[in-house]
Amino acid sequence: MNNREIGNHLGKTPSSIATRIKILKLTRRETLRRWTNQEDEYLLKYYGSKSLKHISKRLQRSIPALESRLNRLGVYGVRAYTGSITVYELASFLQIDVHTIYKWIQKKKLPHKITRAKTRKFVGIEVSAFWKWAEQNKKLLNFSKIPTNTLLPEPDWVRKQRKYDYYNRPKYEKKQWTEEEDARLWYMFYEEGRTQQEIGQLIGRSRYGVQRRLNRLRKKKLTT
């Protein structure tokens, strides 16, 4: 990290960080690598559609470095779990398909804002605004699938709703698979690389049920 990025994490100014580095007689193992236009273009192209972890591996840069660079490029509030997040990040936190989020925006009036950086346009969602909306649209979410403190600050009512949804969850195994479940299943298996057992735990089905459905979806896609 550069001095500004370190300062953001420690709550210090860049000059204070620089002074402290001298006092501690620290030296960098490697010289700082400057951002290139190609890296900026890749970051802006895939941020919001791929996770920061994926982009971090691709560009060989730390996630804090990506967050700092996005802020410099005019995409603010990208620090994970707080502030403003993208549609992709929200879908990942809620364990649902990203297209569901877009449907909520279009049909259920989920609050959002549009941020532009160079040639990219991002759809951002304030965490606090999302929770206010979620409180009025509880039937659209299964709160038992949302890990505790995934989106901070988490309102007090969420904990009670999470317990309620868990103890009143439907018996999915006796129900037909929906298009939304199919899309979510396909995304978690092929895009996120989750195991069949893990997917089954997240969507309330057995590992064998997930395996059978994946086989049917593969055959269906081959014939279309």
Average pLDDT over residues 122-142: 89
Do residue 12 and residue 114 come from a single domain?
no
Neighbour tally for 33: CB within 10 Å: 11
Q: Which domain holds residue 111?
A: 36-157
Do residue 28 and residue 40 come from a single domain?
no
pLDDT (0 to 100) of residue 202: 79
Selected residue with higher pLDDT from 17 and 80: 17
| Tally of domains in the chain | 3
Q: How confident is the model at residue 59 (pLDDT cuts 50, 70, 90)?
A: very high
Is the model's pLDDT at 78 over the cut of 60? Answer: no
Do residue 198 and residue 128 come from a single domain?
no
User: Does residue 181 sit within a domain?
Assistant: yes
Look over the chain and give the mean of its residue pLDDT values, rounded to a whole number.
81
User: Does residue 129 sit within a domain?
Assistant: yes
Domain boundary among 134, 157, 180: 157
pLDDT, tens digit, 9 for 90 and up, residues 79-121 = 443 457 888 888 878 877 788 888 899 999 999 988 776 666 7
Using alpha carbons, list the distances in angstroms from residue 161 to 84, 96, 148, 205: 23, 18, 12, 21
pLDDT (0 to 100) of residue 77: 52
User: Does residue 162 sit within a domain?
Assistant: no
User: Does residue 178 sit within a domain?
Assistant: yes
Do residue 19 and residue 50 come from a single domain?
no
pLDDT (0 to 100) of residue 81: 39
Do residue 138 and residue 211 come from a single domain?
no
Is the model's pLDDT at 193 over the cut of 80? Answer: yes
State what percent of residues in the chain have pLDDT above 70.
89
User: Does residue 163 sit within a domain?
Assistant: no
Do residue 147 and residue 63 come from a single domain?
yes
Do residue 184 and residue 213 come from a single domain?
yes
User: Does residue 107 sit within a domain?
Assistant: yes
User: Does residue 123 sit within a domain?
Assistant: yes
Average pLDDT over residues 175-197: 85
Q: Show contacts of 72-79: CB within 8 Å, 24+ apart.
A: 73/40, 73/43, 73/44, 73/117, 73/118, 74/115, 74/116, 74/117, 74/118, 75/44, 75/47, 75/115, 75/117, 75/122, 76/115, 77/124, 77/126, 78/47, 78/52
pLDDT (0 to 100) of residue 160: 92
Do residue 151 and residue 201 come from a single domain?
no
User: Does residue 167 sit within a domain?
Assistant: no
Average pLDDT over residues 60-79: 75
Do residue 180 and residue 144 come from a single domain?
no
DSSP state of 29: S
